[in-house]
């Protein structure tokens, strides 16, 4: 059965404009060795400063922003508005755990950002996930349920269906310690159930796994029933590693 995938790279605060351009040119060359396959969507989240320069480098690689402000204009020094992202990106990452933990973003802000992204025609990639403490205390499911409830509050069914969810357990981010395919599948299935209760169409929501994904573990993660793709940090900064993960999705998409 054909399965569709999103393979996304979150570059975080890495890569200058020149490095971003060079990376995407090199990745594009590799991707062009693969047949066009609409079942795999390839996506990168470069820093804001690189978005304009990378536009148009590859018709097969989409781009997203790592954040956005929920207002369109105003006295918000250092923030980026949806109008500025204009036609630069298709996706926006919202509520990454680094934004929540380091920059103290609250579910309330995240909810506003999801709504703003949708209003401006971007596809939000909403990140959720539990800390190590929460997992050890048996609170994984209640944490993701709570985040989904608050972050998607007030959205109608059509809107919720457009949102991509990224399950990123905080203890697996940048630690080299990924969730096992079984651990990830279990939470993905649960997320799908929660969304089913909310929207009644569980098959369509795309749920990505993130946290120490690399070529060595991507195949086994991607073949899980409820995993529709991956959100890759560190390994998305190296062309060969990111391409290795893309190749795995190609193998599985039509398998």
Catalytic residues: 96, 168
> How near is the Cβ of 100 to ligand 13P at its closest, in Å?
12
For position 121 contacting ligand 13P by CB under 6 A, the verdict is no
Binding mask 39-78 for ligand 13P (x = CB under 6 A): ----------------------------------------
Binding positions for ligand 13P, 91-110, rule CB under 6 A: 96
Task: Say how far apart CA 183 and CA 192 lie, in whole Å.
Answer: 15
Binding window for ligand 13P (CB under 6 A); candidates: 13-21, 106-114, 196-204, 228-236: 228-236
CA–CA distance from 190 to each of 22, 36, 103, 195 (Å)?
A: 40, 32, 28, 9
Taking the CB of residue 43, how many other CB atoms lie within 10 A of it? 24
Q: How many residues bind ligand 13P (CB under 6 A)?
A: 14
> How near is the Cβ of 19 to ligand 13P at its closest, in Å?
17
For position 173 contacting ligand 13P by CB under 6 A, the verdict is yes
Burial of 52 (0-12, 13-18, 19+ CB in 10 A): exposed
Taking CB under 6 A as the criterion, the residue among 86, 121, 149, 174 binding ligand 13P is 174
Tokens of 92: 């926006």
**Residue 151 contacts residue 113 (beta carbons within 8 Å):** no
Taking CB under 6 A as the criterion, the residue among 7, 10, 109, 169 binding ligand 13P is 10
> How near is the Cβ of 55 to ligand 13P at its closest, in Å?
22
Secondary structure (H, E, C), 233-250: CHHHHCHHHHHHHHHHHH
Q: Residue written as tokens 């997203």? A: 64
Taking CB under 6 A as the criterion, the residue among 111, 185, 212, 249 binding ligand 13P is 212
In this complex, which beta carbon is closest to ligand 13P, that of residue 173 or of residue 199? 173
In this complex, which beta carbon is closest to ligand 13P, that of residue 15 or of residue 199? 15
Sign for the CA dihedral angle at 154, 159, 160, 165 comes to negative
Taking CB under 6 A as the criterion, the residue among 232, 245, 246, 252 binding ligand 13P is 232
For position 169 contacting ligand 13P by CB under 6 A, the verdict is no
In this complex, which beta carbon is closest to ligand 13P, that of residue 188 or of residue 199? 188
3-state DSSP assignment of residue 121: coil
Taking CB under 6 A as the criterion, the residue among 24, 89, 231, 245 binding ligand 13P is 231
> How near is the Cβ of 230 to ligand 13P at its closest, in Å?
9
* Closest listed residue to residue 212, CA positions, set 168, 157, 244: 168
Q: Which residues contact 165 (CB under 8 A, 6 or more apart)?
A: 125, 126, 128, 148, 191, 195, 205, 206, 207, 208
- Residues in touch with ligand 13P (CB under 6 A): 10, 96, 168, 173-174, 210-213, 231-235
């Amino acid at each position: 059965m054909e399965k569709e995938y999103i393979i996304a790279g979150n570059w975080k605060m890495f890569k200058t404009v020149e490095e971003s351009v060079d990376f995407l040119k090199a990745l594009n060359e590799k991707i062009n060795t693969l047949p066009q396959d609409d079942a795999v969507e390839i996506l990168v989240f470069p820093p804001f400063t690189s978005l304009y320069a990378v536009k148009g480098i590859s018709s097969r690689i989409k781009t997203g922003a790592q954040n956005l402000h929920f207002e369109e204009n105003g006295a918000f020094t250092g923030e980026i508005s949806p109008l500025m992202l204009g036609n630069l990106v298709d996706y926006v990452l919202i509520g990454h755990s680094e934004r929540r933990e380091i920059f103290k973003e609250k579910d309330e802000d995240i909810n506003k950002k999801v709504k703003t992204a949708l209003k401006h025609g971007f596809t939000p990639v909403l990140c959720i996930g539990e800390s190590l403490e929460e997992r050890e205390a048996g609170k994984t499911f209640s944490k993701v349920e709570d985040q989904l409830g608050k972050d998607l509050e007030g959205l109608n069914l059509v809107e919720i269906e457009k949102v991509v969810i990224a399950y990123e357990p905080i203890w697996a981010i940048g630690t080299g310690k990924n969730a096992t395919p079984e651990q990830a599948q279990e939470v993905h299935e649960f997320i799908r159930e929660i969304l089913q209760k909310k929207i009644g169409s569980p098959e369509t929501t795309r749920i990505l796994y993130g946290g120490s994904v690399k070529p060595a573990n991507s195949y086994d993660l991607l073949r899980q029933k409820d995993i529709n793709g991956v959100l890759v940090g560190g390994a998305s900064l190296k062309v060969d590693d990111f391409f290795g993960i893309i190749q795995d999705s190609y193998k599985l998409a039509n398998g």
